[in-house]
Amino acid sequence: MNKVKVGVVGYGTIGQRLADGVVRMGDMELVGVANRTPNLGVRALKEKGMPYDLYMSDPKYADAYAEAGIPVCGTMEDLAEKCDILLDATPAGVGAENKKLFERMGKPCIFQGGEKNDVADVFFHGYANYEKGLDKQFLKLTSCNTTGLIRAVDCLDRNCGGIERVAITIIRRVADPGDYHRGLTNALKIDKAPSHQAVDLMTIMPHVEATGILVHTPVTHGHIITITAQGKQKITKEQALEAFKTHDRIRVVRIADGFLGNASMFKYARDLGNPRGDMYEIGLWEESIVEYGDQIMFAIYIPQEAVTIPETLDGVRAALHMQDTMEEATAKTNEYLGMAKWK
């Protein structure tokens, strides 16, 4: 079987995880990764024996790479030339600049949630609108919060008779572990409503009316989202729970078993031996599911560093038309990533 050749541009929090995810795909081959500077991720790559070929995004940092003793295989253009598709995980705004090169070379690319929507042909989610991404040159992923939110809402929409509207509250971690750019803080900060995640959900699922509030919190391990959903017909707790349990990217957990919050989730992922303590699935607390009149309410956990990886790999399958349908594509991604192994 000829494997799809994939390159990752940007070797930071998401890029490192994308590279590892591509390696796990039995029908894909990681050609290499590109990065602008010899950051800590690149330095760790060297210390691990350079398991991935490394390319420079910006040749002006060649001296910095040489000084650090880190071998490179060429430029980002050299990497793109060898690939069937690129996954751009650079900081917001950089991807739009990189797109100019990919357009000139005729290479498809998938951008992460930090880029503006107009960078791509389709604003993409692996479950909610996979077929819209088929054969498109440029796709853009939803953010980590929106990715997990849509997983849960789409699950109910497909399995419980349809969703008409949702209201969400996002309790948002302020920065990733290891980041300092948000400073040291002892405060909560609220954003103007509606949050972009609610707007993004309506862009992907235009038949659902959504609104939401977002609160920044001084923690680093994950977000929690509360969701109140109005179905086209009443959704019972039993129906919702059954639907969530069938979804391979939703892990239903119980407070009674010790899953008290975000720290419990992160610790459990580490106890499982997951690299970096990552979780690809979102967590959903069984005890949080409640009926409120004709609405259903529940809470989910978003592991922000890894949650978008499966949907990005779905994007590769759509852009290169590796599978025709969402069901086929997500099943293949889930199989290679070992999703739902806890069931």
Give me the active site residues, please: 144
- Which H or E run contains 151? helix 144-159
- In the DSSP assignment, the letter for residue 222 is -
CA 208 to chain centroid: 21
Helix axes 326-337, 309-319, angle to 10 degrees: 130
- Alpha helix (H) residue ranges in 13-92: 13-24, 40-47, 62-68, 76-82
- What count of residues does the chain have? 343
Q: How many CB atoms lie within 10 A of CB 183?
A: 9
- In the DSSP assignment, the letter for residue 219 is -
User: Whole-angstrom Cα distance, residue 341 to residue 71?
Assistant: 37
Q: Own/partner pairs for 183-191, CB < 8 Å, 24+ apart?
A: 185/218, 186/218, 187/218, 188/215, 188/216, 188/217, 188/218, 189/215, 189/216, 190/214, 190/215, 190/216, 191/215, 191/216
- φ and ψ at residue 34, rounded to 5 degrees: -120, 145
Amino acid sitting at position 289: I
Positive or negative torsion for Cα 139, 144, 149, 151: positive
User: Whole-angstrom Cα distance, residue 110 to residue 207?
Assistant: 25
**Among the listed residues 305, 272, 342, 317, the one whose alpha carbon sits nearest the alpha carbon of residue 84:** 317
